[in-house]
Structure 1
């Protein structure tokens, strides 16, 4: 019997959902409610790629070999260190008769569920990828379940650009929802020059907020300043709690009502909490976040803040993010620069 959440694909251990599984069945044959996608490109999430690149000292061949080893061993792309994966784009090649996803053969889609729960088979050895960027040209196939989520790629955007946006589309949607609860909120986006950060800044501004984008170096400060996405740009190491909070307070004239964490390095939890006013909200989008450190840190700081985990899904999140990209040239410029750098 098949399961709409993919329990029938779990090989080990028993009794867990596919995301928590150590190994998935990535067999090509689909069940009646599944969809098979011919994969064109993977997008590794930022935390996972940074961990792999750091581990191997920027050796792209070694990074490629480890990604292949992970997929071979686990039947999915699920980084065992960061616990994260990414997403993919591809073309639908078979649809089970009972699939509720509304997809048809030939649709070019982006999956909006993590690679950590998506059965995946790589068939080309990733021979077209040099291992030095997050986007991975790939041949193979992936399986979607009855409760998976996917979006048909828009005709007006290049696949690589659409993939980069859809990879982080939950961030601006949740930022918009939270910021609109406040009256003229002051918003700090940690990692404001990144993909999720730039979209979150645009969403916060559209929702009427005053914004500061926090970046770690002069290059990203220049990129964000040229883009004009934030009312202020601050330079600070997000892993230095005091320096980060002082930079935010100086830029905004006080602590933030909403702090959005979009960096891909660990150790940023306490600085985000210190940067946020009592009664404010911290949104953690980074997969490098230690949620125990966040909870215990807030307790130790006697910080009256609400902390949210950005789970990557809100109804309408894909179209919301794509509309921001279309409407905000500054966002497109940031994404274009990021893709060129990769």
Structure 2
């Protein structure tokens, strides 16, 4: 860390992005960056879709901070590349030549770009790039699977924490309902996913359904509803602006016959906290997977609404999360089709 002294890498304003590594570190030759959805949306809206200005600001952030750490959203993304050097004390189990995806945020990854992002038009989340990145001894990284194109694997790894935690939370409710019923099916568990047509949303819907829940996708318009419907990703679909708390509550109630047991927020826009809380049953759980979430708004909103719900921050890491997400992609062709459509042209 260069600034300020004494803090961990994610909290630092600026990192030392020099390519020299310590004994427990690994240097990666960067091939592609993936901005998280909230960060890309903020930059695109700020610059009215002007790709050249978006590219210039991303370069400025990386050069200024020694990492990709959007100062507005507080988020970054991840990358793929080739292992270039492995320190003798690295615990990551990597070898030179491995093609890998980092499973930790770019907000804590020392990053140096050497090509000026010349191959990127500033209009997509995935960024062809050349440069170096450094992984620490406690980093999380995955070797890219042979049966997935790198761009597809990167898109899946970018959101792999969402389906893994959704699976864990939903299975707890399903198992609890079975115990209360003496081993039977128990009361049905319902899961609402705000942003169900997106990457993390589609994987979360799939994980919830496979865990035994009835699922509802809340999407922003009829085009997204058609996508979810055509792919069969959810048991029910509702169209609503996730920022309109009253509308979200109404649409969820109409679709499910009441509030959801679990609500998963995968929308990359701010202002979705209160709708998620209102749409969740007493004793239920809200999982926030969007970096656009305001956690003070969530906490104070739940208090003001007298909502007895558990609220979880999806921190992006669950043991085995990368393998879990890739397995969903392999098992459910509809999800793979959605991801392939999203990454087409990258």
State the TM bucket, normalised to the shorter chain. Answer: over 0.9
Normalising by structure 2, we get a TM-score of 0.95
Counterpart of 1:298 in structure 2 is: 302
Counterpart of 1:7 in structure 2 is: none
Separation in 1 of the partners of 2:126 and 2:330?
A: 21
Give 3-state SS (helix, strand or coil) of 1:77's partner.
Answer: coil
Separation in 2 of the partners of 1:226 and 1:241?
A: 27
Counterpart of 1:57 in structure 2 is: 48
Match of 2:230 among 226, 244, 247: 226
Alignment partner of 1:333 is 2:324? no
After TM superposition, where is structure 1 displaced by more than 2 Å over at least 4 residues in a row? none
Counterpart of 1:3 in structure 2 is: none
Counterpart of 2:178 in structure 1 is: none
Judge conservation of contact 1:63–1:131 (CA < 8 Å) in 2.
yes
Instruction: Give how far 1:249 is off.
Output: 1.1
Normalising by structure 1, we get a TM-score of 0.96
Matches within 5 A, 1:253-268: 253-268=257-272
Counterpart of 2:22 in structure 1 is: 31
Counterpart of 1:195 in structure 2 is: 199
Counterpart of 2:60 in structure 1 is: 69
Give 3-state SS (helix, strand or coil) of 1:182's partner.
Answer: helix
180-189 vs 58-67, which deviates more?
180-189
Give the alignment's Cα RMSD to 1 decimal: 0.8
Separation in 2 of the partners of 1:28 and 1:64?
A: 23
Q: Deviations for 1:256-311, whole angstroms, at most 9, x for unmatched residues?
A: 00000000000000000000000000000000000000000000000000000000
Separation in 1 of the partners of 2:36 and 2:162?
A: 13
| Unpaired stretches in structure 2, ≥5 consecutive residues | 175-187
Separation in 1 of the partners of 2:224 and 2:112?
A: 36
Separation in 1 of the partners of 2:251 and 2:337?
A: 25
Counterpart of 1:115 in structure 2 is: 106
Instruction: Give how far 1:131 is off.
Output: 0.2
Q: Deviations for 1:150-206, whole angstroms, at most 9, x for unmatched residues?
A: 000000000000000000000000000000111331000000000000000000000
Counterpart of 2:180 in structure 1 is: none
Give 3-state SS (helix, strand or coil) of 2:134's partner.
Answer: strand
Counterpart of 2:313 in structure 1 is: 309
| Unpaired stretches in structure 1, ≥5 consecutive residues | 1-9
Give 3-state SS (helix, strand or coil) of 2:173's partner.
Answer: coil
Judge conservation of contact 1:224–1:334 (CA < 8 Å) in 2.
no
